[in-house]
Structure 1
Amino acid sequence: MKWQNALKDFQLYLKIERGLSDNSIESYCRDIQRLMSYLEENNISNSPISISSETIQHFIYEAAKSLNARSQSRLISGLRSFFNYLVFEDYRSDNPLELIESPKIGRKLPDTLSEEEIDQIIQAIDLSKPEGERNRAMLETLYGCGLRVSELINLKLSDLFFDEGFIKVTGKGDKQRFVPIVASTIKYINIYRNEIRNHQSIQAGFEDTLFLNRRGKQLTRAMIFTIIKQLVEKIGLKKNVSPHTFRHSFATHLLQNDADLRAIQLMLGHESITTTEIYVHLDKSHLTKVVEKYHPRK
């Protein structure tokens, strides 16, 4: 079995049987391609079936020189999944990563913005330019609905159910959920739609896409990162802010205002409540308030 053939089969498995998103599949494939490059550079002719645990250990040791603990752990996890797939398909009888331990890493707490910082970023948008109204609507939607950046750029006009107060969001693995949308976010989206988008020349195939670039096509993830980076620099904010920071802030602010953790889980589209529980660790004062409010010995 050749590496390229095994990689293609693994991609199909991840997409069809596990229902992973394109971004997740790409991440898995990068791990395997990194191993393939290492084998080629070192003239090692092992196939996916014959490669040994020792060879993979040497590869991980070399890779670790340029990776932090979290990246090492993700690399090992990706390779372990690949070889588990080969075992599952009876190509191999063992997983060469079974005895390879991932480095110990703590759970990383996400960066968040205060409500004032979010207001400052949005207020820094230049509304005299056509894209200003679009950018304001996008950031209000990111924060107001707690979306992932991929969910934002893929949002459709047909996903907007403003009369009911919801939007339909397509998340990881094409799983759909309905997320409440507040009146102020609806207002900014409608301003963008009526005053900017309606006057654009829209490319074929993007008629239903909500947020468009100047050429009338769907925005890229990189463009959203760039827009936010420029705004953060403009106001002189010394924080590492990405689109995901708005999502983290959405969840944190809801929790700080006594929202139910299960409700936050549903809005974020987390499969496990454990993923959502990370926000509890951001603000220990929230736990104190819960005890003071609900404990019988308060």
Structure 2
Amino acid sequence: MSENVNVSLKLFIEYLQIEKNYSQYTIEHYQHDISEFFMFMSEQAIAHLTQVEYQDVRIFLTDLYDKKMSRKSVARKISSLRSFFKFLLREEKVGENPFALVSIPKAQKKLPEFFYEEEMKQLFDACDASTPLGQRNKGLLELLYATGIRVSECSQIRLKDLDMYLSTVLVRGKGSKERYVPFGSFAQDALEKYINHGRKELLANGNVQENLFLNARGGPLTARGIRTILDKIIEKSSLTGRIHPHMLRHTFATHLMANGADMRTVQELLGHAFLSSTQVYTHVTNEYLKKTYMAHHPRA
């Protein structure tokens, strides 16, 4: 395959980092999807990106479906490659976008997964607040549940972004959009304990860091590191199954709406650009209320 293929990918990654300001986690997804298409090009003896045609794209999609790939995964790959070729078209590296006419398969409508209040208590109880790492984990879990912020946003929080007097945190969301999100007394207590004790001990293992959450070596805790911590917390709890990072975000929104918060407020707190992204929680809340009713009403 032509060396220009890898050069084009490198330019696209720089575009995502500098112009789009995407998180490293998102960029890795793009890189994986595009590299997979490069492998397909090699198998089909397509040497240059300018040689890719609509018919080649159809064969590529057929291969994905033959591998029993989910519609959600296929849709993501189409979106990644469409953006890639759109960038190449803008840079005049190709003459057309072969993915422009490909329709993205509609994903199966699936309600977001979330934790019930008693399940959240089990997660909090699984954090050993007597150790520096346990204090960090408790503060991390409390903040994620209290604010509904994304894991990628949480990993970027600096110590100076916290306002303990107003109980708010400055969050940098997608596209460098900033918003202030409040947090409650439970999160405040956990964060103060971590900052005054656990974080200072972790800092002794490394250099001075601006980041709020640190790893065991005293360095910044990455988004991937946060995901690993959440997995370990659920392993220590009595809950079964796996935790994915967005479950805490879904739980935050679901519990707010179940207790009477209006959709516009939840939209603002989550940092959603469109209200339609928040509306899914009305359906989740109905399920939540039904389960709560069935569990607690004496005549249910």
- Shorter-chain TM range is 0.7 to 0.9
Assess if the C-alpha contact under 8 Å between 1:113 and 1:246 holds in 2: yes
Structure 2 residue corresponding to 1:191, chosen from 190, 193, 207: 193
Q: Distance in 1 between matches of 2:26 and 2:224?
A: 16
CA contact (8 A) 1:52 1:96 kept: yes
Partner of 2:171: 169
Give SS of 2:171's match: strand
Q: What are the superposed Cα offsets for residues 98-143 of structure 1, whole Å, 9 maximum, x if unpaired?
A: 3333323223321100111101111122233331111111100010
The equivalent of 1:122 in structure 2 is: 124
Instruction: Give 3-state SS (helix, strand or coil) of 2:138's partner.
Output: helix
Partner amino acid, structure 2, of 1:157: L
Deviation for aligned residue 1:168 = 0.5
- What pairs with 1:108-119 in structure 2 (closer than 5 Å)? 108-119=110-121
Q: Which residue identity is paired with 2:250? A: H
For 1:220 and 1:149, locate their aligned partners in 2 and report how far apart those are by CA, in whole Å: 9
Q: How does 1:59-70 map to 2 (within 5 A)?
A: 59-66=60-67, 67-70=69-72
**Structure 1 residues 229 and 263, CA, compared in 2 at 3 Å: closer, same or farther?**
same
Partner residue, 2:35: 33
- How far has the Cα of 1:180 moved from its partner? 0.6
> Do the aligned partners of 2:132 and 2:199 also contact (CA within 8 Å) in 1?
no
Residue number in structure 1 paired with 2:243: 241
Using the alignment, how far apart are the partners of 1:175 and 1:224 within structure 2? Answer: 22
CA distance in 1, matches of 2:182, 2:39: 46
- Paired residues of 2:258 and 2:289 also in contact (CA < 8 A): no
Residues 255 and 279, structure 1, Cα contact 8 Å, conserved in 2:
yes
Structure 2, unpaired ranges of 5+: 291-300
**2: CA distance between counterparts of 1:152 and 1:91?**
37
- Once structures 1 and 2 are overlaid, which stretch shifts more, 72-81 or 23-32? 23-32
Match of 1:103?
105
Contact 1:168–1:177 (Cα < 8 Å) also in 2: yes
Deviation at 1:286, TM superposition (A): 8.7
**Residue of structure 1 in register with 2:54 after alignment:** 53
One-letter identity of the residue aligned with 2:121: D
- In 1, Cα distance between equivalents of 2:216 and 2:264: 39
Structure 1 unaligned regions, length at least 5: 289-298
**Equivalent position of 2:206 in the other structure:** 203
Letter in 2 for 1:170: R
Deviation digits for residues 188-218 of structure 1 (CA, Å, limit 9, x no counterpart):
10111112222341523x5211111221111
The alpha carbon displacement at 1:175 in A equals: 2.1
CA offsets 1:58-96 (integer angstroms, 9 cap, x no match)? 122112333211101111111111122223333334321
Amino acid in the other structure paired with 2:259: N
**2:283 partner letter:** H
Distance apart, 1:36 and its partner CA? 0.6
Instruction: Output the amino acid matched with 1:193.
Output: I
1:94 aligned to 2:100? no
Inter-partner Cα distance in structure 2 for 1:237 and 1:216: 30
Q: CA deviation at 1:269?
A: 1.3
Distance in 2 between residues matched to 1:5 and 1:73, nearest whole Å:
25
Q: How does 1:142-291 map to 2 (within 5 A)?
A: 142-200=144-202, 201=204, 203-204=206-207, 206-284=208-286
Q: Which residue of 1 aligns with 2:294?
A: none
Measure how far apart 1:35 and its partner are.
0.6
TM-score by length of 2: 0.87
Would the aligned equivalents of 1:21 and 1:173 in 2 still touch at CA under 8 Å? no
DSSP-derived class of the 1:283 partner? helix
* Equivalent residue number for residue 296 of structure 1: none
Distance, in Å, in 1 between the alignment partners of 2:106 and 2:147 is 33
Structure 2: distance between partners of 1:107 and 1:186: 36
Written as runs of structure 1 = structure 2, the 5 A alignment for 1:133-148 is: 133-148=135-150
Give the count of matched residue pairs: 286
> Aligned partners of 1:216 and 1:173: how far apart in 2?
28
In 2, Cα distance between equivalents of 1:16 and 1:113: 36
Q: CA deviation at 1:285?
A: 6.8
Out of 68, 79, 82, the position equivalent to 2:81 is 79
Residues 21 and 174 in structure 1, CA contact (< 8 A), matched pair in contact too:
no
**In 1, Cα distance between the equivalents of 2:64 and 2:171?**
37
Report if the CA contact (8 A) 1:166-1:179 is conserved.
yes
Give the distance between the partners of 1:241 and 1:179, measured in 2 at CA: 23
* Cα 1:270–1:216 shift into 2, 3 Å: same
Q: Which residue of 2 is the match for residue 293 of structure 1? A: none
With normalisation by structure 1, the TM-score equals 0.87
More moved, 95-104 vs 78-87 = 95-104
